[in-house]
Amino acid sequence: MIPVGHHINADGRSAFRVFAPEKRQLNVVVLDAAGHDAAVLPLAPDELGWWQGDTARLSAGTRYWLELDGRRLPDPASRRQPEGVHGPSEVVEVAPVATPGWRGVRIEDAVIYELHVGTFTPEGTLRAAIGRLDHLQQLGITVIELLPLAAFPGERNWGYDGVALFALHAPYGDYTDLRAFIEAAQARGMAVILDVVYNHFGPEGNYGGAFAPTTQAAATPWGAAVNFDGPWNHGVREFFLANTRWWLEVVGFDGFRMDAVSLIFDLSPEHILREITDLARRIGAAAGRELLVIAEHLRNNRHVTSQAGGGFGYHAQWNDDLAHAIHAHLTGEREWRHYANFGPLDDVAKALRDGFVLDGKRLDRYARYLLGSDGRLTTATEHVVHLQNHDQVGNRPHGDRLIATYGRARALLGITAVLASPFVPMLFMGEEYGETAPFLFFEDFGDASLVAAVKAGRAADFHFDEGHEPPDPHARRTFEASKLHWARAESPEGRSILAWYRALIDLKRHGELGPRDRSALRIDALPDAAGASGVIRVETAHTLTLLNFSAQAQAVPLGAEWCFQLGSLDEAPPADPGALPGWGARIFRRAP
């Protein structure tokens, strides 16, 4: 596959390749150090709509415009936008990640940690984040998932409004910083995967549409869908496949989490998603390392992870059902659409056993149709589960975390259930030490009308929270309020919560808690004295986990073979291990 945008060709010259069908003229305007025109390179078109040309090798740091029919625009495949997404593009040279002996992490061994670079540290940079990698290693993390890094408008954003998909968002650092971060993580035994957005472009700074029909009429909640099957789709498809190669092969990420793939529409004989997952596996095989591809699909469809019958072939997909079932039962919240389908404790037990609660037999009350397929026909590693993530926290009206609103007991009970499941667990940054700072929605768009529309849209989304308008997404204070407070990790309570997470993850990684083989677990919902289900019992060959999903203490008979190991609310071994405190979790080990 020939690269897109600027690249060095086989002759060592700077070459440009741009998809711009049905255009009259396309030039590269090279700038000098003062930003003045230094040279003009005319590009020539071929019959497929690609414009190409080459020149003497340009040094890293050289800035340039693409002049399309007289209009100067950034390169849609720009590798760096130092003056922002509306400015000129810059030539970069990237040395790929090189960690001796690195072979990646299998999905069976994944314990994922999701983080947003801009709020993970006070500095909000990749270099600063390196300083926290020892913490993640000691926690037991094996896979770090970075929220999107592709360049977006302004300084701050979650990253899902990216428009220059090959360019690293400049305030986070440069490609040298990114390489240092990935290599430092891999040296500690942790893979690094990137969240990529291939379902839409952000609403400001998307100049790709001026060159080619990159989007089509099909809609997503965030704008027009990407044109994977309309006129001139071959160039659009090649652009995204080249982007896959860029991040996985050239830069050296260990895989992708792909955003909202259910909103990637393609009626071609081979779906673009299968092309991407196949390409990722080929890149990994050629390099002798494991590359993970994880989908956010959220339709509970086993087709996403199937390798047969035209399936998309992902290693795993995000599964929100366990988180929604736990949250709805622990909090009683039903107003928000995510929780409208959940509530009974039996939903928690079903999620732990089967993976999908919405499995095609229950009406989705929000979508108003039968959603999902039978999760029992999947393997446990095809599901990535969590208690909280950026969406579950950030798309609440006030970005509040579970522990901040409902307290430590319920938060620790919830994460114990997640890690006692047979599925692949994922944590959201800060939860491991009980972070109480919110994670709010924030942006830094330059278009005043867009800023106003985002603010109005957020308020409309939370109409049920009358009188409590969400914080202004555009205000810098909203972004600053979302930064982690690392001092809490060193507080007595923070250290206590961190110790609980470390213990659970250690048991998980050794297969004693939530083994990947679902047949090795027995999951039961035990009725309380009133006949309601109050406790979930999860038994494996080595451990017994009791989860009290009620505010009242519950008595659970224990056989002599079970020895108390640890409890979420126990500072010392309890006198009666079977007397579970309200919202308490206890783990027992089978006696030798």
* Domain locations in the chain as residue ranges: 5-90, 518-590
- Find the catalytic residue in 75, 145, 296, 443: 296
Q: Please tell me the distance from the alpha carbon of residue 388 to that of residue 448, in angstroms, as a whole number.
A: 32
* Long-range contacts of the stretch 184-189 (C-beta < 8 A, 24+): 184/130, 184/133, 185/133, 185/136, 185/144, 186/97, 186/99, 186/102, 186/254, 187/99, 188/133, 188/134, 188/136, 188/137, 189/105, 189/137, 189/142
pLDDT at 240: 98
Q: What is the pLDDT of residues 205-256, one digit of tens each?
A: 999 999 999 999 888 888 899 999 999 999 999 999 999 999 999 999 999 9
pLDDT at 367: 78
Identify the band that residue 366 occupies on the pLDDT scale cut at 50, 70 and 90.
confident
- What CATH number labels 5-90? 2.60.40.10
Given a contact cutoff of 8 angstroms between Cβ atoms, the answer to whether 239 and 233 are in contact is no
Region 77-104: mean pLDDT is 97
Residue 464 has pLDDT above 60, yes or no: no
Q: What is the pLDDT of residues 107-149, one digit of tens each?
A: 999 999 999 999 999 999 999 999 999 999 999 999 999 999 9
pLDDT at 469: 82
Q: What is the pLDDT of residues 12-59, one digit of tens each?
A: 999 999 999 999 999 999 999 999 999 999 999 999 999 999 999 999
pTM over 0.95: yes
Question: Which amino acid appears at position 172 of this protein?
Answer: Y
pLDDT at 529: 62
Q: Which of 454, 458, 386, 389 is nearest to 426 (CA)?
A: 386
pLDDT at 417: 98
Q: Please tell me the distance from the alpha carbon of residue 505 to that of residue 415, in angstroms, as a whole number.
A: 10
Q: Is 259 a catalytic residue?
A: yes
Q: What is the pLDDT of residues 372-400, one digit of tens each?
A: 999 999 999 999 999 999 999 999 999 99
- Find the catalytic residue in 183, 259, 333, 432: 259
Q: What is the pLDDT of residues 48-87, one digit of tens each?
A: 999 999 999 999 999 999 999 999 999 999 999 999 999 9
Owner of token pair 């339709």: 299
Q: Which of 289, 283, 281, 317 is nearest to 302 (CA)?
A: 317
pLDDT at 531: 58
Please name the helix (run of DSSP H) or strand (run of DSSP E) that holds residue 492, with its range, or none.
Answer: helix 492-509
Q: Please tell me the distance from the alpha carbon of residue 533 to that of residue 430, in angstroms, as a whole number.
A: 31
Region 167-181: mean pLDDT is 98
What are the CA-CA distances from residue 511 to residues 79, 140, 154, 282, 449 (Å)? Answer: 42, 13, 45, 30, 53
Owner of token pair 């599925």: 423
Identify the band that residue 363 occupies on the pLDDT scale cut at 50, 70 and 90.
confident
pLDDT at 466: 60
- Evaluate whether 5-90 and 518-590 have a shared fold: yes
Q: Is 443 a catalytic residue?
A: no
- Coil, strand or helix: which one is 5? strand
Task: Tell whether the torsion through CA atoms of 421, 427, 428 and 434 is positive or negative.
Answer: positive
Residue 7 has pLDDT above 90, yes or no: yes
Architecture of domain 518-590: Sandwich (2.60)
Give me the percent of the chain exceeding a pLDDT of 90. Answer: 91
Q: What is the pLDDT of residues 292-348, one digit of tens each?
A: 999 999 999 999 999 998 899 999 999 999 999 999 999 999 887 789 999 999 999
